[in-house]
Structures are given as C-alpha cells and as structure tokens.
C-alpha cells in the first residue's frame, strides 16, 4: 500500500462513519490495518478541505481523548468542526478555555477491524 492508497483507504473509512457518530485517528488507522499510522491519518485529512465526491466527513474524526484538535490559533478549523458536529446533532461540550469535547460513551463509533 503506497501513499495514494493510504489516502484512499482513510477516506473510505471516514465515509463509513455513521451520522451523529465520531471516532478517533488511532481507530481509523486500526480499521485500515495500520494501527501505528495515527499521525498520517491526520495528515491525510488535512489534505482534504477541498470538495470531494462523495464528500468526506472529516469532522467526525477527533482525538482519542474525545477532544477536537485545535490546530493553530484563532477560531479556525476546530470551531468550524464543532459547528459541523452540532449541525449533525452531536453534543459538543465547550469549557471556559474553549475546549471542545464529545462524549464517546454516547457518540463514539469504534467497530472492530473486519466487522466492516
């Protein structure tokens, strides 16, 4: 599997995430069959943002601790991501420091590899 196939595998897996559900980078990597490529999942996702067909719901992928990665100062990305999630009906908890969290016990999606 080369870089392009890795990208395609990530996109396909992200598209499998059901509405109103979220999962983590590490689990995406696991589903692909490469549990130690969590960082590259993030790299593949940042390369998106452009309109793809069909679209990739990248905003349903967050860190394993249930928090949305801030990626840079300002209200870029992360704020938009929480907006998208709330639009889907996912409850996003925001603390006083701007921390954005999603309750995995309610919205988490972690199927076993091979069950999909």
Residue 34 C-beta: closest distance to DNA, Å: 8
3-state secondary structure 73-110: CCCCCHHHHHHHHHHHCCCEEECCCCCEEECHHHHECC
Kindly write out the interface string for residues 32-71 of this chain, putting x where it contacts DNA by CB under 7 A and - elsewhere: ----xxxxxxxx-xx-xx--------xx-x-xxx---x-x
Residue among 20 and 43 whose Cβ is closer to DNA = 43
Closest C-alpha to 22, from 91, 114, 96 = 91
Residue among 20 and 63 whose Cβ is closer to DNA = 63
Give the span between the Cα atoms of 116 and 111, in whole angstroms: 7
Residue 39 C-beta: closest distance to DNA, Å: 4
Output the CA angle 18-108-38, nearest 5 degrees: 90
Binding residues vs DNA (CB under 7 A)? 3, 24-26, 36-43, 45-46, 48-49, 58-59, 61, 63-65, 69, 71, 77, 81
């Amino acid at each position: 599997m080369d870089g392009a196939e890795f990208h395609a595998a990530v996109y396909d897996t992200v598209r499998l995430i059901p509405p109103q559900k979220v999962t983590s980078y590490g689990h995406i990597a696991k589903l692909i069959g490469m549990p130690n490529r969590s960082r590259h999942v993030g790299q593949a996702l940042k390369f998106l943002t452009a309109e793809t067909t069909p679209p990739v719901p990248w905003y349903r992928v967050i860190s394993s601790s249930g928090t949305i990665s801030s990626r840079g100062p300002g209200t870029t990305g992360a704020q938009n991501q929480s907006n998208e999630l709330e639009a889907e009906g996912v409850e996003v908890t925001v603390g006083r420091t701007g921390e954005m969290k999603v309750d995995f016990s309610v919205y988490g999606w972690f199927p076993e590899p091979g069950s999909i």
